[in-house]
Chains A and B, each alone.
Chain A
Amino acid sequence: MTFLADWAEWLPSLLQGLGTSLLLTLCVAGIGFPLGLGLALLSIAPARIVRILSIAFIEIFRGIPLLVVIFFAYFGFPDIELVISAFATIVVAHSLNLGAYSSEVFRAGILHVGPGQREAARSLGLTPWHAFSRVVLPQALRAVPGPLMSFLIMVFQSTSLAFAIGVGEMTSQAFSIGSMTFDYLSVLVLAGIIYAIICVVSARIVARFEAKMRT
């Protein structure tokens, strides 16, 4: 059982990395979800050009791997004299990605409300903006928490890509321990277990939550 002793020794640095992973997740969610809502609104905007541009933006970011976006930002930004930290790079790249993905959920929520509600609100003399923001939007947002929580789990998993540009989150921590001890397997498995526990437990919570929402 010598590996248990190793694991106990490594755990603090991994947990420190986990802290960074979670912080990244929070930052990405904090920017990505509002961006997703904004994109959803633009993608159903009255102006055709706005719709086309926002849908193109969404399709592009859904069509290319997150890693390409990360590398583009990390290696490309300095070329255009834009210097930000690796952490900020991940947050920017990842938020764009999350914004594109989550916009579909917001849009489905909005479209699900149906024209009757808007018409009813307008017939009460509400302005189009009030009809939307006070009647349609609140109903649309009621359906989204479940899918958004699932996105959060996916975001948490893909923060591991920060490893590629050397942000010290959990995967990077595990890898650097591995490169010092030459025991990659053991430390990576430990990191994997931590990821799996967090993801499986949160997925269960989300499933519970969604079941409750349905009843």
Chain B
Amino acid sequence: MTFDNARILLKADAIEKTFRGNRVLDGISMDVHAGEVIALIGPSGAGKSTFLRCLNYLEQPTGGSLHLDGEPVFADPLKPAKSELLSLRRRVGMVFQTFNLFPHLSVVENVTMAQRLNGLRSTSEAEEYALKLLAQVGVEEKAEARPSECSGGQQQRIAIARALSQDPELMLFDEPTSALDPEVGNDVLRVMRDLADAGTTMIVVTHEMRFAERVADRVLLLDEGRILEEGPPERVFRHPEHARTSRFLHAVLDR
């Protein structure tokens, strides 16, 4: 698939992040087209999680700006208004490495809560939609269970359903399978692949190079807070431009 003519859904412009004088993101710019799947790879500490969290302002960037659908997300990116923050986060879903399901709620309540509180759907509609999403990720039989009664793989799929419940235009995944055993992780990757096939726009931080190669439309390699290499998976993986890229790929593939 090529996205040259597709609509640019998200535009990140020169995103910077400094933690107490430590410059973690050094001005990252990126366009995400509607329907595109981007794999974000790179060595530990490169700033992948930080960058992803800047895209929904869980981390407030210290510089740069975001556009969604051609419109600036914030009038002043350094002084986000509450309403702007909420609207960004409702349009962008996030899946965490450690799932972060709400342990005091049942599985289905995890998926309905934000729909109800954000006024997206009525209680009965929210419930119906939640069950549909849970079926889609293959855990409908756990609807009434507590998260603690579910396996890690199930929990992560529930977390995906929860993020999808907001009808996000863009999904962010931060190493969704690295806390899981490989077999269980595959169930999660299968769900993500289905989402990608259905045209969901996704940015996935991952160490699963096979997944990146097969599912991603574009691979971004982040190193020391910058994009070191960028392109279609086959190019980045087979013919990297930089020696550092091949070193990184060797190190990962050797594991």
Is A in direct contact with B (CB under 8 Å) within the complex? Answer: no
Interface residues of A (CB under 8 A from B): none
